[in-house]
Amino acid sequence: MEKKTLDFPEEMNPPVVVQESGENLDLCKHKEEEDEDMFLSVEKISRLPVSIKFNIPKKIATKRRRKSEEEEKKAKLSSGDKVLRSDEILRLRKVSRQKYMKNREKKKVDEFRDQIEDEVLLNDGVKMTEKEVTEFRYKKKLYELLKKTEDDDVEGYRIPDAYDQEGCIDQKKRFAVAKERYCERRSGRGVTEQEAWEDHQAQKARVSFGAKDKKGVVDGFEFVFDDLKGLVEEYSEAESGKHRGCYSKTVGEKAREERELLPIHGYREELLKLIEENQVLVIVGETGSGKTTQIPQYLQEAGYTKRGKIGCTQPRRVAAMSVASRVAQEVGVKLGHEVGYSIRFEDCTSEKTVVKYMTDGMLLRELLTEPKLDSYSVIIIDEAHERTLSTDILFALVKDVAKVRPDLRLIISSATLEAKKFSEYFDSARIYLIPGRRYPVEKLFRKWPEPDYLETVIRTVVQIHQTEPIGDILVFLTGQEEIETVETNLKRRMMDLGTKGSEIIICPIYSNLPTELQAKVFEPARKGSRKVVLATNIAETSLTIDGIKYVIDPGYCKINSYNPRTGMESLLVTPISKASAEQRAGRSGRTGPGKCFRLYNVKDLEPTTIPEIQRANLASVVLTLKSLGIQDVFNFDFMDPPPANALLKALELLYALGALDENGEITKVGERMVEFPVDPMLSKMIVGSEKYKCSKEIITIAAMLSVGNSIFYRPKNKQVLADTARMNFYVGTENVGDHIALLRVYNDWKERNYSTEWCYDNYIQSKSMKRARDIRDQLLGLLNKIGIELTSNPNDLDAIKKAILAGFFPHSAKLQKNGSYRRVKEPQTVYVHPNSGLFGVSPSKWLVYHELVLTTKEYMRHTTEMKPEWLIEIAPHYYELKDIEDTRPKKKQRRSERASTSKVDTNKKTRTSKVDTNKKAKR
DNA sequence: GAGCACTGC
């Protein structure tokens, strides 16, 4: 009580500022100078679009200061603030009249600047008009004149910062002040600020019961964010131990000591108690709380490992590896002994392993052999909010397992936005909040979407470069094409600007970029220059770049969605979700306070992205479920059920492939197929290769196809050379298709001893080839496991093509008169993809293709010529003679064909619905 | 003559 009145009079508490999105940006409890700055800057955030800002000195603002209070209220309302009660305002004034006036001043300055900006905005997107240029000059002049009279030494134009009345406060200084305060407190009172803070936080972290206490959860969570202030530096030092110079202690010792500095440390006992008492616990642990590394250790220390392993899933391989290595260090054991990880192609565990990190897909695979997870005592599903296909399936499966195993503990770790949903899903499981730790990120945004965001991106980069303190810039773009466009335009712009100012180094990064070119992103920029990273979504979660201080986020990304009706995939440029926006902004606050320039308004965004399970091809998912003995996939306990027609399509396909029988139960073939971690059509192709004595070739092709479309590298300036190199794999007497070409690429590479140089010479990505080799090795092992003999038939291309058709017979297409193709079983026109070796050569009449993609047209990717009679030979249950009949009289036959097709369709439907009914009956 | 974000088993 005393503390409160003495140090922080209540009337001095800044008002709670709510951004338009509803987030509480600043909830400082202590009245300090920077609080007011923060208040101002937050207020600015809610009103200022990002563009050239003019720093108008106080003078103008002073003139406008004496406006009525009503107007002030209005202004506050319009900026999204909660209006202060008028008595509070009066008291506030009493206490700090002068300061308040200064704030007013600033506010009015901002308003004035807004007016100017609105005018600038009118000309936004278009190139500089005469009017704009004149205005620009005029304002510059005005500014300079005013500057003379004001004793202000700020030069030029800049984006508003968290400034005080004198201008821009250096963020570092700001934190130095905060730290000073922290030191003072420590000496002045018995309680250190850290202790006080921990006390405070301990009250904040609260347990809530499912959705019943939603408000509490949200409030509590948002509360814990930002009052770290003075502690931020303390903590970050602890966290980034590797950056510290002196190593008098061993790395392990240091790591162990640092454990105690993590925010989660204070909640250890409470957390353990909760886990003991509750079978399922949803944990909201913010970035930097230490949950991923600490919880498994706490559980181990509490003796959980006596009953079984502690498994912790991660959505990404690198995460599983690096976290495991960190924990092994902290515990002081060798990685792979007591602490290990398990990812595809790499099992770094032993019999001793009690804490096991793994990818979510890996746990799903383990469930196939160990349905009750008997060897585990605790399962932690980390980053559950990312909602990968695997985690979504895992949710339902572990929920089921938990019912039959009361001793099993389940911890679901998620970000705020979805915590409530997870809790509801797990039968109102408890939610526990652990505060995180991170640097503050100032968010500036546009009220309206940008008409030409690439241009705005370039302008913002230039502006940051000219007006903001040193620090690298990260720009989020949707794809390679955009990255290349921005790169060339930005270079041009920088040239136009001449030599004044320091240089910028542009680093593009996207997953298809060869590794050696990707490395450039991680090199620190030369002294005096600034790095500008142009990245796709890869920089959102997958890789972290040090030194980023500014993030420019246009708010879009490409999302893959699968259309079950047409069986076609397409990549769509889509607005990101609020969750993504937060994640992107956070990328600027990793090593120090950051700034994020949003070229959109957060309030226009959806809260979360559509989960993958609702937009993916489900063939593989359904086969996995069937193999786990889940009969009724329609009533499976999905957190967000996928569309019914997507499930139906998957069932139909699996039935056609022979993986399911007419009752919808998994067959022998299906059991074999499920062993292979590839798409069901590919696994059927592998299983089918046994018959054609070419399993060796087929697993190579399957591996190459699994890698995707990143085998051939096609740099912009060497396209012709790259294309010529690619066509070398197609030469031969026969019409070599894309599948055979891929086989040749692999075999040639193997012949050259897997040479990287050979890859360079042939415009092939060695990274992809190495991946293909890994996959092939794995497939080889599995072939052995299920007892398919490794046979080779390299010269019988027909045998290989037939084996391909064994899996891909539904993907057949026939040439039409106009040169396009038509799918045999679906009334759909498709085209050979321009990247195919069959593109532009004398067309083959019948083709089998690997996949359909919708870009500018409906394209077949990876196609190979085939003979129509093979369709009947291989898939007599699927094709009739009519389907492949060559010549026919025009009208009559067509009608009959249509009739027969629809008949087949009806048959299929009845079959499927029969499958369904049976399942329901069984249930 | 088009163009492919990112993961995972």
Per-residue model confidence as pLDDT tens digits over A543-583: 788 889 999 999 999 888 888 888 888 888 889 998 889 88
| B3 nearest neighbour residue (CA to C1') | A481
How far does the CA of A322 sit from the C1' of B6, in Å? 20
pLDDT band at A249 (very low <50, low <70, confident <90, very high): low
A767 pLDDT above the threshold of 80: yes
Mean pLDDT of A727-754: 87
- Distances in whole angstroms, Cα of residue A915 to Cα of each of A629, A633, A662, A873: 15, 11, 6, 26
| B1 nearest neighbour residue (CA to C1') | A834
Mean pLDDT of A193-215: 37
How far does the CA of A569 sit from the C1' of B6, in Å? 15
In what helix (H) or strand (E) does residue A747 lie, and over which residues does it extend? helix A738-751
In this complex, the nucleotide whose C1' atom is nearest to the CA atom of residue A778 is B9
Whole-number Å distance between alpha carbons of A853 and A270: 52
How far does the CA of A560 sit from the C1' of B5, in Å? 7
DSSP count for chain A of H helices, then E strands: 34, 24
| B2 nearest neighbour residue (CA to C1') | A834
How far does the CA of A294 sit from the C1' of B9, in Å? 27
Percent of chain A clearing pLDDT 70 (strictly above): 68
How far does the CA of A202 sit from the C1' of B9, in Å? 41
How far does the CA of A361 sit from the C1' of B9, in Å? 5
Instruction: Count CA atoms closer than 13 A to A94's CA, side-chain side.
Output: 9
| B9 nearest neighbour residue (CA to C1') | A677
Number of C-beta neighbours around residue A204 at 10 A? 17
Q: Which one, of A490, A518, A521, lies nearest residue A504 by Cα?
A: A490
In this complex, the nucleotide whose C1' atom is nearest to the CA atom of residue A366 is B9
How far does the CA of A542 sit from the C1' of B6, in Å? 8
- Which has more confidence, A852 or A121? A852
In this complex, the nucleotide whose C1' atom is nearest to the CA atom of residue A389 is B8
Q: Which amino acid is at A796?
A: D
pLDDT band at A805 (very low <50, low <70, confident <90, very high): very high
In this complex, the nucleotide whose C1' atom is nearest to the CA atom of residue A539 is B6
In this complex, the nucleotide whose C1' atom is nearest to the CA atom of residue A362 is B9
Which bases of chain B are contacted by protein, using any atom under 7 A from a CB?
1-9
How far does the CA of A423 sit from the C1' of B3, in Å? 43
CB A435 within 8 Å of CB A548: no
In this complex, the nucleotide whose C1' atom is nearest to the CA atom of residue A854 is B4
pLDDT band at A429 (very low <50, low <70, confident <90, very high): very high
Q: Is the pTM of this model over 0.85?
A: no
How far does the CA of A82 sit from the C1' of B4, in Å? 47
Mean pLDDT of A409-418: 86
How far does the CA of A476 sit from the C1' of B8, in Å? 23
How far does the CA of A905 sit from the C1' of B8, in Å? 34
DSSP symbols for A109-170 = HHHHHHHHHHHHHHTTTSPPPHHHHHHHHHHHHHHHHHHHHTT----S-----S-BTTBPPP
- Distances in whole angstroms, Cα of residue A545 to Cα of each of A486, A520, A539, A550: 20, 11, 8, 12
In this complex, the nucleotide whose C1' atom is nearest to the CA atom of residue A541 is B6
| B5 nearest neighbour residue (CA to C1') | A558
Q: What is the pLDDT of residues A661-719, one digit of tens each?
A: 999 999 999 999 999 999 999 999 999 999 999 999 999 999 999 998 888 888 777 88
Whole-number Å distance between alpha carbons of A692 and A792: 9
pLDDT of residue A204: 37
In this complex, the nucleotide whose C1' atom is nearest to the CA atom of residue A344 is B9
CB A265 within 8 Å of CB A259: yes
- Overall residue count recorded for chain A in this entry: 923
Whole-number Å distance between alpha carbons of A661 and A664: 5
Hey, CA dihedral for A329, A335, A339, A340, is it positive or negative? positive
In this complex, the nucleotide whose C1' atom is nearest to the CA atom of residue A364 is B9
How far does the CA of A40 sit from the C1' of B4, in Å? 45
* Residue keyed to tokens 């991170």: A438
- Distances in whole angstroms, Cα of residue A700 to Cα of each of A7, A417, A806: 72, 43, 16
In this complex, the nucleotide whose C1' atom is nearest to the CA atom of residue A319 is B7
How far does the CA of A701 sit from the C1' of B1, in Å? 27
| B4 nearest neighbour residue (CA to C1') | A709
Q: Which amino acid is at A698?
A: I
- Distances in whole angstroms, Cα of residue A557 to Cα of each of A385, A571, A726, A804: 18, 10, 30, 34
Number of C-beta neighbours around residue A566 at 10 A? 16
pLDDT band at A499 (very low <50, low <70, confident <90, very high): low
CB A298 within 8 Å of CB A259: no
A168-182, A235-249, A678-692: which has the minimum mean pLDDT? Answer: A168-182
How far does the CA of A76 sit from the C1' of B8, in Å? 48
In this complex, the nucleotide whose C1' atom is nearest to the CA atom of residue A540 is B6
Q: Are strands A339-343 and A346-348 parallel, antiparallel or unpaired?
A: antiparallel
CA angle A789, A793, A795 (to 5 degrees): 175
A100 pLDDT above the threshold of 50: no
Q: What is the pLDDT of residues A815-832, one digit of tens each?
A: 988 888 999 888 889 999
In this complex, the nucleotide whose C1' atom is nearest to the CA atom of residue A363 is B9
How far does the CA of A53 sit from the C1' of B4, in Å? 39
CB A358 within 8 Å of CB A314: yes
Q: What is the pLDDT of residues A51-95, one digit of tens each?
A: 323 333 333 333 344 444 444 444 444 443 444 455 655 555 555
**Which residues does residue A532 pair with via DSSP β-bridges, in sequence order?**
A473, A506
3-state secondary structure of A812: strand
| B7 nearest neighbour residue (CA to C1') | A316
| B8 nearest neighbour residue (CA to C1') | A361
pLDDT of residue A685: 94
Whole-number Å distance between alpha carbons of A157 and A556: 29
